[in-house]
Amino acid sequence: MNQPLETICGLVERITFHNEENGFCVLRATVKGHKELVTIVGSLPAVSAGEWVEAHGIWIQDRQYGQQFKATALHLTPPTTLEGIEKYLASGLIKGIGPIYAKKLVQAFGEGVFEVIEADSSKLQTIPGIGPYRQQKIIKGWADQKAIRTIMLFLHSYGVSTTRAVRIYKTYGNNAIQLIQENPYRLAQDIRGIGFVTADKIAMHLGIGKDSLIRARAGISYALAKAMDEGHCGLPIETLLYSCQELLEIEQAIVQEAVNLELQGGTVIKDYIGEKGCIFLQGLYHAEKGMAQKLRDLNTSDLPWPPFNINAAINWVEHHNALSLSLSQKQALIEALTHKVTIITGGPGVGKTTLLRSILQILQSKQVKLALCAPTGRAAQRMAQATGMEAKTIHRLLNINPKTGRFNYNEELPLPCDVLIVDEVSMVDVPLMHALLKAVPLNAAVIFVGDQDQLPSVGPGQVLADLIASKVIPFIHLTETFRQGAQSIIVAIARSINLGIMPNLKGYGPTSDFFFIEIPDAEQGLKQIVDLVTTRLPNTFDYSPLHDIQVLCPMTRGIVGSRNLNTELQQALNPPQPTTSVQKFGNWFSLGDKVMQIENNYDKEVYNGDIGFIKSIDIEEGELIISFEGKDVHYDFSDLDEIVLAYAMTIHKSQGSEYPVVIIPLFTQHYPMLQKNLVYTGITRGKKLVILIGQKRALGIAVSNKTMQKRWSLLSKHLCA
């Protein structure tokens, strides 16, 4: 027998849980007729303590949590009681008002406080502590919150989460609803996390036909953007047509017509890889073509240093550093000093750093202006430590303009250098490499350094692989293992995996730098990882859980994925506290947390992959400060969708970094990502100790999986043209 629906009303005292992705929430409310607080479970795009909730649903008895009211529909109205108003204002919803000012405002203006903020804000300055600056902050916070809530109400019925609604507002401002109504498909292009399906759902509701060409063209843009996220610069025509037809559920003739219109409009370009016709996004197509042309132009001009006796220079640098270069290192050095563009690759322990330092010392002695760069802050820092010279991230070297997102150094204003050295080239995608090469003066030489066996870039293209495959640029691959590397089990294990040979996992003594801990299932693996990070490694070796130990995961999802491990490690190392923590976008952020920036923010000058620590949290002001390598960066709470916890991260995100201790979970549940180059990349991030935790079978799958997904790119072809 179906239980009849009831309606209850009450004051929201606190939000126990709110998932801003899907709206699911658990509320604790004061309800008339109930002595104790009532637990209400339902779905809302946004909710704050102090609001009045009307819930329609049924009572249930939960095994773990006891009696709850399960709501099929929830409706909120602004608070009307003084207690509710104070709770509402104290919730941190409006920037500039926290618990202290909420109490002051309610004491001064009572039930009329909202009207004062909206219509008579000059009265706010009668409150001690509120001057012109805080007054404006409160006015803006109130207006922003109203606008965001209006957008939420518009979007929530289409399944768009609070997180996305905030991003939409930040991108489009107060014109958000109008812009969406004009072209809902722009959401899929402009807003991170909103896919074509959501945009399409809104479009259908607004009356855009299923067979319309605007929808088909949007589908093509989406398919190519999705391919770009997977590392491609384009797609074979038949693949594009098939994926669009499947996505849109329309006739192929309509998709073909849409492709023709996109080609005519110049947004996409057709070219061939072998005999296979492909469609490329025009920006990426021209970027690859431009890179190839610039590299050819560089090769046609003279070397930027005067002629000198290279053998004498080798003898000098060996004497200067009290070392003997190997035959392969000497050959590589000669190649680099006799060509305008050179590639140097090799795995750990093969002497890349020694070689690079020797090249730089020789060039420095010839009064050559040097510029050193790498794609990430950590990689640049490592490069500086290894060479003893200044190294910058590519973004900082090119001097990005925060307001425009454009680089100040470009083809019109080249970099002031004679030689550019780029480290960790395997990480650099097509757009960034194109921007870098555009800024290289024609008289300059370029030396690319990297490890060709690592993962390709997260972004589109396979720059290092294509440069090597073209055979147009001199290429030196170092293989000889030197003393330090020869003694390292990490290096031996990495080499074995790279060769597709299952490594020896046993017989290593207590002083070894590598261990494999066999665990039958992921649940036990999770407990083992938390124990290692929080107790065993700090107690036994005095490693810092925050600064020395990094957990690297094949995937984001799953029990031992980076997302769940971050939650568990935060709970063990730095559990959230009411006074020093804030919950935003489904995550708790606490004072002292290790965090990572996940998108480029040119205004703040922090970039995707930068690691920092939360230095302060100001609930009253609605902001926190994160320290990135000693640089303090301010974040509004609404900006925290750009930040994730970083106690654990994916192996992809770790590229270009090194850590004293690396822990890698490997289980068969990671099957989609178990590839040789992924595990190799993870292991080679560890400097002093690497611990693999998991199943031998999972490692065996990765070692034997030599297939790498083919990336559709044209750089190699353009270089050979």
Is the pLDDT score of 1 beyond 60?
Answer: no
Res. 234: pLDDT tops 90? yes
pLDDT, mean of residues 136-165: 77
Copy the structure tokens of residue 328: 């392969």
* Mean pLDDT computed over 289-301: 94
The answer to whether residues 49 and 12 touch, using CB atoms and an 8 Å cutoff, is yes
**What is the spatial distance between Cα 450 and Cα 457, in angstroms, rounded to a whole number?**
12
Answer yes or no: is 351 a known binding residue.
yes
> Percent of the chain beyond pLDDT 70?
97
Q: Which residue has the higher pLDDT, 260 or 118?
A: 260
Q: Which candidate, 103, 125, 415, 441, places its Cα nearest to that of 297?
A: 441
When pLDDT is cut at 50, 70 and 90, the band that residue 159 belongs to is low
Confidence band of 574 (pLDDT split at 50, 70, 90): very high
pLDDT at 483 over 60: no
Region 124-134: mean pLDDT is 90
Checking if the pLDDT of 585 tops 60, the result is: yes
pLDDT at 485 over 60: no
Buried b (16+ CB within 10 A) or exposed e, 481-503: bbeebeebbbbbbbbbbbeeeeb
Residue 719 to residue 276: CA distance in whole angstroms: 18
pLDDT band at 570 (very low <50, low <70, confident <90, very high): very high
Residue 461 assigned to a binding site: no
When pLDDT is averaged across residues 613-623 and rounded to a whole number, the result is 88
**In the predicted model, what is the mean pLDDT of residues 366-382?**
91
Please give the Cα distance from 704 to 688 (Å, whole number).
26
| Interval 255-280 mean pLDDT | 94
The pLDDT of 448-452, averaged and rounded, is: 93
Q: Residue 690: is its pLDDT beyond 70?
A: yes
pLDDT at 638 over 50: yes
Residue 174 has pLDDT above 90, yes or no: no
Helix 252-265, helix 213-229: angle, nearest 10: 80
Is the Cα dihedral 567, 572, 573, 577 positive or negative? positive
298-334 in b/e form (b: 16+ CB < 10 A) is beeeebbbeeeeeeebbeebeeeeeeebbebbbebbe
**Block residue for tokens 């003898």:** 315
The tokens for 28 are 């604790």
β-bridge pairing 549-553 and 514-518 = unpaired
pLDDT of residue 550 exceeding 80 = yes
Band of residue 482 on the pLDDT scale cut at 50, 70, 90: low
**pLDDT value at position 108?**
93
Distance CA 397, CA 383 (A): 14
Which pTM does this prediction carry?
0.81
Higher local confidence (pLDDT), 229 or 570: 570
> 23 among the known binding-site residues?
no
Backbone angles phi, psi at 140, to 5 degrees: -65, -40
Q: Indicate whether 288 pLDDT > 90.
A: yes
**Mean pLDDT, rounded, for 285-298:** 96
Q: Is the Cα dihedral 405, 407, 408, 413 positive or negative?
A: negative
User: Is residue 75 very low, low, confident or very high in pLDDT (cuts 50, 70, 90)?
Assistant: confident
**Contacts of 652 by beta carbon, 8 Å cutoff, 6+ apart:** 455, 458
Helices (H) and strands (E) in the chain, counts: 28, 26
Task: Quote the pLDDT of residue 337.
Answer: 94
pLDDT tens digits for range 692-719: 999 999 999 989 887 667 899 999 999 9
CA gyration radius, the chain? 29
Q: Does 270 count as an annotated binding residue?
A: no
Q: Which of 217, 194, 190, 214 is nearest to 203 (CA)?
A: 214
Query: Two tokens at 261?
Result: 């219109």
Q: Average pLDDT over the chain, rounded to whole?
A: 89
Let me know the angle formed at the C-alpha of 693 by 692 and 694, rounded to the nearest 5 degrees: 120
> What DSSP designation does 683 have?
H
How confident is the model at residue 487, as a pLDDT?
67
- Nearest Cα neighbor of 161 from 181, 140, 190, 191 is 191
Q: Is 567 helix (H, G, I), strand (E, B) or coil?
A: helix
Rounded-to-integer distance, Cα 273 and Cα 626, Å: 46
Task: Report the relative pairing of strands 686-694 and 659-666 from DSSP bridges.
Answer: parallel
Mean per-residue pLDDT, 345-371: 91
Once rounded to an integer, what is the mean pLDDT over residues 219-226?
Answer: 91
The answer to whether 84 is a known ligand-binding residue is: no
